[in-house]
Structure 1
Amino acid sequence: MVALTSAHWLFLFWVFVVIVVMALRKDPLIPCILGLLTVGWVVKQSVVGAVSTVFNALIVAGNEFWGIIVVISLIVALSKLLSDTGADYLVMSPAAKLMVNPDIAFWVLGLSMLLASWFFWPSPAVALIGAIMVPVAVRAGLPVMGAAIAMNLFGHGIALSTDYVIQGAPTITAKAAGFTDPGPIISASIPLAITMGLVTTVTAYFLIKKDMRSNPEALKNEQTTFLAKEVRKDVNTTSYILAWATPLAFLADVAAMWVLKLKGGDATALLGATALIILAFGTMLKDGWEGLEKITEYIRDGFMFGIKVFAPVLIIGGFFFLGKGDLAKSILGVNTATGFLEDFGIVLSQVIPLNKFFVAIVSLATGIIVGLDGSGFSPLPLVGSVAATFGSAMPIDKATLAALGQIAGVWTGGGTIIPWGLIPVAAITGVNPIELARRNFVPVVLGFIATTIVAIFLL
């Protein structure tokens, strides 16, 4: 029987505080800092030890996440170059030409958003897709709200919750769940992501079709006012070179990952280096010798984005890493330290009769509640820790459990059903974020129900 100490109960208290604060749509950084400080003081019995615990947690979390921060920052910097050169327009224009009616427009717009978000992340992809393809989709007869829903569900829903190319989300979840690389989370998420994606997008599609039939005059008015926004960028030789080189380079990376079985840090290194090389080449091609200065601006803008996204995740992750044994030892600097959540999992298995239905509902609810703060990545350290806890308490597939929590957290906090997480898509399309959240609610809830049922059978 594992002995639960006062440090265990103190850690659990701060976990509940963090969940409550997030449910109230407030940032949980101060509770996480206080949790690290007080747990450090109880374990190390000194003020200096308590203070050093806070800093150590940031360093440990930074070491775990730094590779992902770098690759996302570099890819965002590259996306800015593509936008400045007009290469983004050339890449997207073939897909735009396929949108000949509202039905095709919905799926082409959504799938384009999915691919762009996988390779460039949803936030940069919103600007890319919104400026170039949304006017074309509206001209084809798709309502502006329908375009916003398609971009939102495919980008901030499917793409961000899976993150198969950049692997930011599964890496964070995997670290918290006790895996050395994101491979198990990615593999386990595939059937869940397919279920969630199909249920949400198909449901949304039929609801949009129903609205189009009930209010055709409003659609005509939308088309008239929105088509003035259609963008056409000036392009040149540099634009064409980058428009071909960039997708081909990343497709080569994906092929190399598949053939060479590259995972985790190796896959991240390949993507990051490719983005940096294209960025350097493209900047010099675009600006000549001035590119020696211009690339600094792109790099700076990219890292400002990356740090902005991950700064709170470092503190939240540092706190929840106390739940895992190896990382808890590094944070507390005590070789005898154990993972607090892992210990609770063992105790739960001996006290409470657990079953797959119960743990699946807990994982889903945790992701949804914690995701209410509007940050898609904030829930990931916790849902990973919860999966590790139940994984040590009963014979289940903790990768599937973690993947379920990841999908719930990102679909909620990443921006599909809460208005404060929908601002990017709402702004680029000009729709009301509250109305967009309301329209997404039924498809996403049905998706959660179907995905949880599938997860229960796979656990």
Structure 2
Amino acid sequence: MPVTLTSVHWLFLFWVLVVIVVMALRKDPLIPCILGLLTVGFAVKHTIVGAVTTVYNALIVAGNEFWGIIVVISLIVALSKLLSDTGSDYLVMRPAAKLMVNADIAFWVLGFSMLFASWFFWPSPATALIGAVMLPVAVRAGLPVMGAAVAMNLFGHGIGLSTDYIIQGAPTITAKAAGFTDPGPIMSASVPLIITMGLVTTITAFIMIKKDMKKNPEALRLERDAFLSKEVTRDLDWVSYFLATVTPLAFLADIIAMWVLQLRGGDATALLGATAVLILAVGTMLKYGWEGLEKTTDYIRDGFIFGIKIFAPVIIIAGFFFLGKGDLAKSILSLDTATGYLEDFGIALSQAVPLNKVFVAIVNLITGMVVGLDGSGFSPLPLVGSVAATFSKAIAVDKATLAALGQIAGVWTGGGTIIPWGLIPVAAIAGVNPIELARKNFFPVMLGLAATTIVAILIM
């Protein structure tokens, strides 16, 4: 059925291009998104009041879509702070640290520890946890500080954040924009892609680090001595051991329950969030006694400050790009006749230009990378999800695989693996130059994205 493109369609496309350009220039795109909502609202409703309410409706619709993920991330971050304050994080990671007997093993143990910590606690808190507990052990085993930073970065902000299988923040945003009711299809489709991306990037990076280690062993020794002089000691008590035992067992029970009971989406999120807040409440009271009543509030407040800080810009960006989806556009514009503007463009494009899998895969890959240049791994997700939905209506292509490819491209770029302004957390913990860290990551990540795109084209 032919699609008629109206002036509102072209107005929406104009603001999409403005947002992409602004992000490519490393500027926050919130003002263009707000102006886009305002002008599209006015063009549709023809009143100032209608235009203003469109902006607010978009934020409410996007906020409702993401509130569950915001809550669970905030609660888990709050719990991670308690674990850090009690030293339980050290006890949890100590067994893995003992495995690092040489530099080769240290790279992989450090990386996989960062991956698992990122899945359960998210990459930013995991960076502090792994950096404080396991990074010194890896360096003592002979791994260069820069090599350790690369491992933490690729496994955490790369593999961990781009999959997000446990907390499901990233796939939830992508899934909502792509038109799925839950993140399950995105996560399933991402498995072969992330296996490709993970193997190519980490193996390539490991080979490069091994070559660097052979060039100047004396400089490596001096670097190791200087880094290890900064090690700190921890005060541990019975609460530390209690939390170090209960926390991993509780989350392991959650994973088993999710598997056995087939819990997905909101149900899985609810289980994780409730587990985190219960452990937080019990652990805080055991550690601080009656003062735990106030300390629990402090931990919850800190957690939600982190969660809102991460998602506040994403809600505005998503609110704008949700105009590209038909069902969400109806809620934002309060019109049953509203259509998804990006979806309409996809159909019109397919009618005017012959599309194929190679073209749409490369477009979504580049879109994710360009939008990710602003340094936020989640900013590209509403757009790549919408673009995947758009192309899936235009040609026979697997929407979930296309969206997963865009998610990987956006998160690996903006989440903090190849742009210096996104690498600051890991660089700060390791004490390395973020620009140099970005250089070390660049070739492995680019090679990984090329290989992943090929695999995506073959299976779409």
Normalising by structure 2, what TM-score? Answer: 0.99
- Distance across 2 between alignment mates of 1:174 and 1:413: 18
- Distance across 2 between alignment mates of 1:420 and 1:285: 40
* 1:195 positional shift: 0.4
Q: Which moved more, 1:3-12 or 1:32-41?
A: 3-12
Partners of 1:61 and 1:315 within 8 A in 2: yes
The 5 A counterparts of 1:207-222 are 207-222=208-223
- Distance across 2 between alignment mates of 1:378 and 1:307: 14
- Distance across 2 between alignment mates of 1:228 and 1:127: 18
Partners of 1:132 and 1:230 within 8 A in 2: no
The 5 A counterparts of 1:93-104 are 93-104=94-105
Question: Equivalent residue for 1:172?
Answer: 173
Identity of aligned residues (%): 81
Question: Equivalent residue for 1:84?
Answer: 85
Question: Equivalent residue for 2:286?
Answer: 285
Q: What whole-Å deviation, never above 9, does each CA across 1:256-276 have from its counterpart, x for those lacking one? A: 111111111111101001100
- Distance across 1 between alignment mates of 2:230 and 2:101: 18
- Distance across 1 between alignment mates of 2:454 and 2:8: 36
| Amino acid aligned to 1:62 | G
Partners of 1:200 and 1:444 within 8 A in 2: yes
* 1:56 positional shift: 0.3
Question: Equivalent residue for 2:190?
Answer: 189
| Amino acid aligned to 1:127 | A
- Distance across 2 between alignment mates of 1:85 and 1:222: 30
Question: Equivalent residue for 1:115?
Answer: 116
Q: What whole-Å deviation, never above 9, does each CA across 1:163-222 have from its counterpart, x for those lacking one? A: 000000000000000000000000000000010000000000000000001111111101
* 1:231 positional shift: 3.1
- Distance across 1 between alignment mates of 2:408 and 2:118: 16
* 1:27 positional shift: 0.4
Question: Equivalent residue for 2:330?
Answer: 329
- Distance across 1 between alignment mates of 2:259 and 2:194: 20
Q: What whole-Å deviation, never above 9, does each CA across 1:58-105 have from its counterpart, x for those lacking one? A: 000000000000000000000000001110010011111111100000
* 1:232 positional shift: 3.1
- Distance across 1 between alignment mates of 2:179 and 2:426: 34
- Distance across 2 between alignment mates of 1:391 and 1:326: 16
Question: Equivalent residue for 1:439?
Answer: 440
Pair 1:245-2:246 in alignment: yes
Question: Equivalent residue for 1:363?
Answer: 364
Question: Equivalent residue for 1:152?
Answer: 153
Partners of 1:416 and 1:422 within 8 A in 2: yes
Question: Equivalent residue for 2:379?
Answer: 378
- Distance across 2 between alignment mates of 1:333 and 1:168: 27
- Distance across 2 between alignment mates of 1:115 and 1:40: 43
- Distance across 1 between alignment mates of 2:430 and 2:303: 24
| Amino acid aligned to 2:407 | Q
- Distance across 1 between alignment mates of 2:139 and 2:9: 56
Question: Equivalent residue for 2:64?
Answer: 63
Q: Which runs of 5+ in 1 are unaligned?
A: none
| Amino acid aligned to 1:318 | G
- Distance across 2 between alignment mates of 1:221 and 1:270: 47
- Distance across 2 between alignment mates of 1:140 and 1:25: 38
| Amino acid aligned to 1:298 | Y
| Amino acid aligned to 2:421 | W
Partners of 1:177 and 1:384 within 8 A in 2: yes
Question: Equivalent residue for 1:295?
Answer: 296
| Amino acid aligned to 1:103 | D
Question: Equivalent residue for 1:457?
Answer: 458
Give secondary structure in 2 for the equivalent of 1:319: helix
Pair 1:16-2:17 in alignment: yes
- Distance across 2 between alignment mates of 1:293 and 1:239: 19
Q: What whole-Å deviation, never above 9, does each CA across 1:227-285 have from its counterpart, x for those lacking one? A: 11223311111001100110111111111111111111111101001100100010111
Partners of 1:161 and 1:406 within 8 A in 2: yes
Q: Which runs of 5+ in 2 are unaligned?
A: none
The 5 A counterparts of 1:39-78 are 39-78=40-79
The 5 A counterparts of 1:286-435 are 286-435=287-436
- Distance across 2 between alignment mates of 1:316 and 1:458: 30
- Distance across 1 between alignment mates of 2:272 and 2:231: 32
- Distance across 2 between alignment mates of 1:228 and 1:165: 36
Q: What whole-Å deviation, never above 9, does each CA across 1:10-38 have from its counterpart, x for those lacking one? A: 00000000000000000000000000000
- Distance across 2 between alignment mates of 1:258 and 1:11: 42
Normalising by structure 1, what TM-score? Answer: 1.00
| Amino acid aligned to 1:216 | P
- Distance across 1 between alignment mates of 2:223 and 2:155: 23
- Distance across 2 between alignment mates of 1:435 and 1:36: 39
Q: What whole-Å deviation, never above 9, does each CA across 1:366-415 have from its counterpart, x for those lacking one? A: 00000000000000000000000001001110100000000000000000
- Distance across 1 between alignment mates of 2:233 and 2:193: 38
Give secondary structure in 1 for the equivalent of 2:229: helix
Partners of 1:136 and 1:230 within 8 A in 2: no
- Distance across 2 between alignment mates of 1:5 and 1:286: 62
* 1:57 positional shift: 0.2
- Distance across 2 between alignment mates of 1:445 and 1:230: 34
Q: What whole-Å deviation, never above 9, does each CA across 1:402-451 have from its counterpart, x for those lacking one? A: 00000000000000000000000000000000000000000000000000
- Distance across 1 between alignment mates of 2:132 and 2:434: 18
| Amino acid aligned to 2:236 | V
